[in-house]
Amino acid sequence: MTIKDEVLLKVDDIYMAFGGVQALMGVSFEVKKGEIFSIIGPNGAGKTVLLNCINGIYYPQRGHIYFDGKEITKLKPYQRAKLGISRTFQKIELFKGATVLDNIRLGRHIHLKTGLLSGSIYLGKTAKEEIVNRDFIEREIIDLLEIAHIRDKVVGMLPYGLQKRVELARALALNPKIILLDEPLAGLNLEEVEDMARFILDINEEKRWQTTCILVEHDMGVVMDISHRVLALNFGEKIAEGTPDEIQNNPRVIKAYLGEAEDLYVTRR
């Protein structure tokens, strides 16, 4: 999709410490509308902490976060979700005992307008609303992510690769403006990696979605292939930001990250 000049998310000089450990030290960056923006860095660099700050699980001790021109630094996670920030987790956080469809519907919950009372009677407006939302889920999400064959299966029984896909489906059900993907490719086999990369591109490029993505990922091949811009973190500090080419050739990044850990990332390719 065409990237607009409009800034969708702005992180301004945020600090986050856990006791004596400085997880983030003055990180700033801007994500433009329509981008796939990747965050890379060695283990413990602060990538997930950064996502948690954007998403509202942590509140940064200093600095500000703006979303769509509005400050969200102090908002609660559900308030941010309402604004259109959605995410997936590094370790799958699904309701294991519920079906795929129910998990996805939970992600849609924020868009349900009818109240508890009419919901419990399930008449008129509620039923209509349910049909509209079900239609959205089936048409836009289940079909897109190719999970029709498991829609009635219990999540806990599914293989890991499919669970990852269900998590993405739930995040999409929110119909987000921005989606935070925390290591969506970790633990997948080659074929699943290719599928997932394609889904991310679909979500980003397909006219229907055109969703901005922030991607935290270790698979350098995919990151460099699909990202528009990349941010490199090391020990809570931003060490570089730029296009994939710039990052790949940045000596600080190579030293901090790619160089020493090369073996780790070569294994899958």
Partner 1 sequence: MSHGDNLKTIQLTKDLTIPKLFLQSAKKFWDKKVAMREKEYGIWIPITWKQYYENVKKIALGMVSLGLERGDKVAMIGDNRPEALWAEMAAMCVGAIGVWLFQDSLIDEVQYIINHSDAKMMVGEGQEEVDKYLVIKDKCPKLVKMIWDDEKGMRNYNDPSLISLKELMKIGESLDQKEPKLFEEMVMKGKADDVCLLFYTSGTTSLPKGALLTHYNMLSMGRNLMRVDQYYETDDFVSYLPFAWIGEQMMSISCGIQAGFTLNFPEEPETAQENIREIGPHMMFAPPRIYEQMVRNIQVKYLDSTWLKRKAYEFAMKIGYNIADLKFAKKHIPWYLNILKYIAYLCVHKKLKDHLGLSRIRYTYTGGAAMGPDHFRFFHAIGVNLKQIYGQTEIAGISVLHRDGDIKFDTVGKPIPETEIRITSDGEIISKSPSVFVGYYKMPDETAKALRDGWLYSGDTGFIDADGHLVVFDRTKDVMELSDGTKFAPQYLETRLKFSPFIKDVWAIGDRRPYVTCVICIDYNVVGKWADDRNITYSSYQELSQKPEVYELVKKEIMKVNKDLPQVARIRRFINLYKEFDPDDDELTRTRKLRRAFVEDRYKDIVKGLYCQEDHVHMDTTITYEDGRIAKIKTDLRIMDVPN
Binding site residues, partner 1, CB under 8 A: 135, 138-139, 142-144, 146, 148-149, 151, 198, 202, 205-207
Q: What are the residues facing 231 on neighbouring strands?
A: 39, 241
Whole-number Å distance between alpha carbons of 13 and 155: 39
How many Å apart are CA 256 and CA 239, to the nearest integer?
A: 9
What sign does the dihedral 49-53-57-60 (CA atoms) show?
A: positive
Q: Compute the least distance from the CB of residue 139 to partner 1, in Å.
A: 5
Query: Going by DSSP bridges, is the β-strand pair 62-67/70-71 parallel, antiparallel, or unpaired?
Result: antiparallel
Least Å distance, CB 242 to partner 1, is 24
Nearer to partner 1 among residue 118 and residue 210 (C-beta)? 210
CB-wise, 9 or 172, nearer to partner 1?
172
Amino acid identity of 146? Answer: E
Residue (4 or 82) nearer to partner 1, CB: 4
Instruction: Measure Cα distances from 177 to 27, 96, 171, 204, 221 in Å.
Output: 22, 27, 11, 10, 26
Please report how close the Cβ of residue 175 comes to partner 1 at its closest, in angstroms: 17
> Which C-beta is closer to partner 1: that of 16 or that of 169?
169
Nearest-approach distance from CB 151 to partner 1, in angstroms: 7
**To the nearest whole angstrom, how small is the minimum distance from the Cβ of residue 204 to partner 1?**
11
Decide if 166 contacts 158 (C-beta within 8 A): yes
CB closer to partner 1 out of 121 and 131: 131
Contact 242, 35 (CB under 8 A): no
Q: CA 72 to CA 70: how far, in whole Å?
A: 6
Min dist CB 148 to partner 1, Å, is 5
Buried b (16+ CB within 10 A) or exposed e, 83-95: ebbbbbbeeeebe
Q: By the 8 A CB rule, do 38 and 215 touch?
A: yes
Nearest distance in Å: CB 102, partner 1: 14
Select 30 or 206, whichever has its Cβ closest to partner 1.
206
Quick one: 64 or 153, whose CB is closer to partner 1?
A: 153
Least Å from the CB of residue 143 to partner 1:
6
CA 94/CA 206 separation, integer angstroms? 26
Do β-strands 212-216 and 36-40 pair in parallel, antiparallel, or remain unpaired?
Answer: parallel
Q: Smaller CB distance to partner 1: residue 62 or 151?
A: 151
